[in-house]
Chain A
């Protein structure tokens, strides 16, 4: 798997050996995968408590979330409960790693854009009523670094633990850093991914920006009206091993354009996709599927479709999964890498099942005519198989990831269990 990087030392392999995930489509990948494939848009909820005077359709995680253990109650907030739900799904793989690898060699890199800000809202409301913050509120629930601290303390690991927060590219960036920590040799395993939770601040903020659609987001349609918010958690166990699903390429760029709007030319998105291909050592034709950032705002659709058409032409199968789970903001990059991971896991000898692009089918004639996937669509693959996922964030922060599998996959964890 090691590739020559233009005279630079070859990078060791980077395997994503386990995934824990929760979002509006389900409590775990077993529930989520068939609903993704079926294009199930029935699982959005209506909330009237997020933005005053407005009823919002959101991709909410319904059902109970695990409670944090008492020793970690200072971290107790919805955001960390979403992360814990993902962690618990990987418990058996994590236990193997915790037994085999010294605690100081295990790192934690987590993305979030909200942290526990929803719980801080409640604490501040409490203070308005009583002149004191709610007694259970701690700063560790609100500060961005809290989620990484929580994951590290829950696992009782002593390697580096930090939160990357670059708005909607946070989750993708966490995987990029995990790969670097393994390549630098400073960690032998990294828990990496992201969680983000619905809250009044982001709902009110995006509502004030007039970026939220009334119904479900409708990416690439002439009728699109903006994004639909979502929440969830997606965490991976990442190790320096060959085999399985590999993180093969990372491409990053900044826009140098505007704090909350992308460069309409798509130059930043194009640079990130191009760099990810170069980093993976692959030509554009080697990519079998692209998970679009696909927020469903006119600004994103315009620049992303242009950039995709310039990078790949119009034949590459593409879809946005945000019209299925909502835009999970800081978690989206990890969530959508997770969808790509599930897709690669379900690859047969000759076919890769594709997640459908769910929309009203009314193309915007101003956009390049990309190949947007239909329900039940597959693509034939022989040999290696590679897919890409795009994430673009406020502040003009872009990150594209390439994930891939070798032919004749055998999905064994990359270490002796």
Chain B
């Protein structure tokens, strides 16, 4: 298995804006509210005006997860199934109507828009990647974060997973509970020389096997729930071709 340290987490969803509210949700989970966005007052006004709901949500979780000093220094991985696709769909509607496209809007439709805006807002010049993997996006995002730790073990990686509901044009094409949310995890390598506390250890692997029935909330939040409750040593998630398995506490036999 692959070991990492989970140094800190932060999450945002409509009505779930504090650590305490997430602890309460973990004990008594309900489906996540579909629509809503944070104010993101920490962003400069000019930048904030340009931000889509997803960008505000992901950057709110990202900023809450890092101390100010860390924010400019971490590597980052932004995982989102849909990313800025709703803004792309708006542009596709404009194309169908032969309307001119807005250059500023176009720049914000890239899948790494949230990563790019995080880099600007946090003045972060470190490596950053953005990914999507259909229903398996959270597990793949976690693996991409481990890939960054492989490249530079001494530098923590900020993983931010988030989504907003798919625009109505295409929403009926997928089977997914509509939710607006983001989860941020600050991950570090176990072999970076820093002392390791047992309660921050996390092991990860995938296995073949049957797919696991989805919960009525996103996989990333099912992970958070498992982490916060701490009653089970193992969590398995996986909707497509493999099962993602997380284990705690750290088992030294795996290192």
Q: Which residues on A are within 8 Å of B, measured CB to CB?
A: 8-9, 52, 103-104, 113, 117, 120-121, 124-125, 127-128, 133, 137-140, 142-146, 148-149, 152-153, 157-167, 173, 176-177, 180-181, 183-184, 186, 200-201, 204-210, 250, 252-260, 267-268, 271, 279, 393-397
Contact = CB atoms under 8 A, between A and B. Distances in A.
A395 B133 contact: no
Contact of A209 (B106, B108, B133, B137): B106
B151 interface: yes
B255 interface: no
Contact of B107 (A9, A159, A166, A260): A260
Nearest to A200: B95
19 contacts: A120-B89, A139-B173, A139-B174, A142-B170, A148-B133, A153-B241, A162-B143, A186-B206, A204-B91, A208-B103, A256-B123, A256-B124, A256-B125, A259-B116, A259-B120, A271-B125, A395-B115, A396-B116, A397-B112
Chain B's interface size range is 35 or more
B112 A393 contact: yes
Contact of B241 (A113, A161, A395): A161
A184 B120 contact: no
A158 B241 contact: yes
A267 B2 CA distance: 34
Given A113-B110, A205-B103, A165 B132 contact: yes
B34 interface: no
A165 B130 contact: yes
Contacts of A146: 134
B170 to A, nearest CB: 6
Nearest to A52: B98
A162 B92 contact: no
B125 A254 contact: yes
Contacts of A8: 153
Given A209-B103, A271-B125, A143 B112 contact: no
Contact of B113 (A104, A205, A259): A259
Given A133-B170, A181-B147, A395-B115, 12 more contacts: A8-B153, A117-B92, A133-B173, A140-B134, A159-B242, A160-B242, A162-B136, A166-B128, A205-B91, A254-B124, A256-B125, A397-B128
Contacts of B132: 143-145, 162-163, 165
A257 B139 CA distance: 30
B127 interface: yes
Interface of B: 2, 81-83, 85, 88-89, 91-93, 95-98, 100-103, 106-113, 115-117, 119-120, 122-134, 136-137, 139-140, 143-144, 146-148, 150-151, 153, 166, 169-170, 173-174, 191, 205-208, 240-242
B220 to A, nearest CB: 15
A177 B125 contact: no
Given A128-B96, A166-B130, A256-B119, A104 B85 contact: no
A143 B209 CA distance: 25
A149 B140 CA distance: 12
Ordered nearest first, which 3 A-B pairs have the shortest CB separation?
A395-B116, A205-B106, A252-B127
A166 B82 contact: no
A395 B119 contact: yes
A118 to B, nearest CB: 10
Given A161-B133, A209-B106, A121 B95 contact: yes
Given A120-B92, A124-B96, A144-B111, A180 B116 contact: no
